[in-house]
């Protein structure tokens, strides 16, 4: 029976789809059978990030409306035989699906995999509610920006109200240099406000964008540090306890010098 995890955020564009694709792939690389579900109906994206958009025949709404069987709609990943995508419908609008239908669909998926990862749309409306309705666990993605954190806080409250236990947090697009210079909120600042468990930190990395454009995900690149950070999160999802180290970049000479004068580092 699969564990169902929904990736959500409140604010748009903070890295839900990127995280879903990378974590789905990483879990599959760990030998787990994984289905990633694009619940962003009307704005589908996950297929593009995984480079699978040309293979779509049926979608999530087709399954719910009974136009096809579930297995017909699942698309096998290019790189990994253990990873499947259930794509969102592009032409239907987000109200094409009800919460009950979503829960029913998720229950059907449970017997097909070890992990079901659902990519939620932004916002707090019906699309978001559908995406969390069938979830066992929730992972919240935020960037270190005041508006994203405010939305994450709102979402955490809504998840708690929906009886979805203790969501965990991915902090995405962190820039250590900006944190050091006081221009960006630190991990500690974020955790102090949101008061939930951290499951991982992902740096801001241009390679995410180039990988996305190629339809490849970063975890496939053995040399990518960011890919390794995603792999660590996947291991934590499977229950391994891996310490969360502060993410590294190389402080400039000036920074190191001024750090020395302030008695740091």
Partner 1 sequence: MTEYITIKGARGGLRLHILDTCEWTDAFVALQKQLTDGAALLQGMKLSLDLGHRELSPQALDELHNVMRNYQTDPVDILSESRTVRAEARTMGFIAKPPMPKSTTVEVEQTSTVMTRNVRSGQIVRHHGDVLLLGDVNAGAEVIASGSVMVFGRVRGVIHAGAMGDRSAVICAIELSATQLRIADLRARAPEDQGQKIPEIACIEDTHIAVHAWHEYRR
| The one segment of 30-38, 42-50, 83-91, 187-195 that binds Mg ion by CB under 5 A | 42-50
Residue of 108, 256, 112, 232 whose CA lies nearest to 176: 256
Among 2, 4, 18, 135, binds ligand ATP (CB under 6 A): 18
Q: Which of 153, 221, 249, 255 binds partner 1 (CB under 8 A)?
A: 153
Binding mask 110-139 for partner 1 (x = CB under 8 A): --------------x---------------
Q: Mask: binding to partner 1, 64-103, rule CB under 8 A, as x and -?
A: ----------------------------------------
Q: Which is nearer to ligand ATP, 80 or 226 (CB)?
A: 226
Nearest to partner 1 of 12, 157 (CB atom): 157
Is 165 an interacting residue with respect to partner 1 (CB under 8 A)?
A: no
Task: Please check whether residue 231 is in contact with residue 219, taking contact to mean a CB–CB distance below 8 angstroms.
Answer: yes
* HEC assignment per residue over 189-258: HHHHHHCCEEEEEEECCHHHHHHHHHCCCHHHCCCCHHHHHHHHHHHHHCCCCCCCCCCCCCCCHHHHHH
DSSP state of 23: H
- Ranges within 180-209 binding partner 1 (CB under 8 A): 192-193, 195
Nearest to 135 by CA among 154, 148, 120, 151: 120
CA 78 to chain centre: 20
Q: Are 200 and 18 in contact (CB under 8 A)?
A: no
The whole-angstrom separation of Cα 217 and Cα 52 is 12
Using CB under 6 A as the binding rule, the residues of this chain from 146 to 175 that contact ligand ATP are 172-173
Q: Is 40 among the residues that bind ligand ATP (CB under 6 A)?
A: yes
Question: How far is the C-alpha of 84 from the C-alpha of 80, rounded, in Å?
Answer: 9
- Residue 218 interacts with ligand ATP (CB under 6 A)? no
- Measured from the CB atom, the residue of 21 and 109 that comes closer to ligand ATP is 21
156 is an interface residue for partner 1 by CB under 8 A: yes
Among 11-19, 21-29, 109-117, 211-219, the segment contacting Mg ion (CB under 5 A):
11-19
Residue 168 forms beta bridges with which residues? 139, 197
Cα dihedral across residues 162, 137, 221, 178: positive or negative: positive
Interface with partner 1 includes 162 (CB under 8 A)? Answer: no
DSSP-assigned letter for residue 117: E
Q: Which does 212 bind (CB under 5 to 8 A by kind): ligand ATP, Mg ion, partner 1, none?
A: ligand ATP
Contacts of 229 (CB under 8 A, 6+ apart): 200, 201, 202, 203, 247
Question: In the complex, which residues of this chain contact ligand ATP (CB under 6 A)?
Answer: 9, 12-18, 40, 45, 122, 172-173, 202, 204-205, 208-209, 212
Question: In the complex, which residues of this chain contact Mg ion (CB under 5 A)?
Answer: 16-17, 45
């Amino acid at each position: 029976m699969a564990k169902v995890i929904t990736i959500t955020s409140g604010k748009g564009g903070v890295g839900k789809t990127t995280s879903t694709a990378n974590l789905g792939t990483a879990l599959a690389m760990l030998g787990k059978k994984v289905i990633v579900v694009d619940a962003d109906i009307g704005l589908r994206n996950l297929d593009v990030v995984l480079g699978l958009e040309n293979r779509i025949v049926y979608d999530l709404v087709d399954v719910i409306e009974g136009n096809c069987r579930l297995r017909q709609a699942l698309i096998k990943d290019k790189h990994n035989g253990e990873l499947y995508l259930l794509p969102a419908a592009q032409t239907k609008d987000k109200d094409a699906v009800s919460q009950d239908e979503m829960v029913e669909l998720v229950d059907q998926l449970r017997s097909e995999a070890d992990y079901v990862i659902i990519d939620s749309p932004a916002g707090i409306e019906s699309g978001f509610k559908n995406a969390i309705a069938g979830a066992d666990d929730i992972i919240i993605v935020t960037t270190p920006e005041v508006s994203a954190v405010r939305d994450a806080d709102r979402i955490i409250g809504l998840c708690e109200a929906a009886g979805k236990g203790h969501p965990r947090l991915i902090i995405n697009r962190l820039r250590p240099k900006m944190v050091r210079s006081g221009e960006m909120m630190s991990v500690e600042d974020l955790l102090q406000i949101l008061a939930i468990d951290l499951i991982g930190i992902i740096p801001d990395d241009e390679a995410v964008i180039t990988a996305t454009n190629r339809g490849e995900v970063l975890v496939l690149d053995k040399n990518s540090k960011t890919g390794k950070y995603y792999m660590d999160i996947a291991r934590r999802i499977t229950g391994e306890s891996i310490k969360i180290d502060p993410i590294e970049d190389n402080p400039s000479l000036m920074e190191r010098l001024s750090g020395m004068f302030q008695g740091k580092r």
